[in-house]
Amino acid sequence: MIPQIETTKAVGLVVLPGAMTGLILAGVKPLDAVLVQASVMYLVLGSVATTTTVVAIGIQRRLFTPDHRLRPLSATPSGR
């Protein structure tokens, strides 16, 4: 998540994202263009956070037993 957060912090200061630039070139008020771009960036950040949480919960359930012990990991899957 850190790269996505860093990207979100730089929007408008260093980077001019596509949606904001396109809206400004189309004649939309700059404040409206910035608000649209901010909402898009926060939606992307929210989806990254949701995906990270779902993957972490799935990995936790796969790697740990219900009593919080690490499951033994086999080096090779048994074909039997």
Chain segment 13-62, per-residue pLDDT in tens: 556 677 888 888 999 998 898 888 888 888 888 998 999 999 999 999 88
Rg (CA), the chain: 21
Token couple for 38? 């901010």
User: Which residue, 48, 20, 25, 13, is CA-closest to 35?
Assistant: 20
- Would the pLDDT of 79 be above 80? no
CA angle 40, 13, 25 (to 5 degrees): 65
pLDDT for residue 54? 95
The pTM score is 0.65
Pairwise CA distance, residues 55 & 51, whole Å: 6
pLDDT for residue 46? 92
Helix axis angle, 18-25 to 30-63, nearest 10°: 160
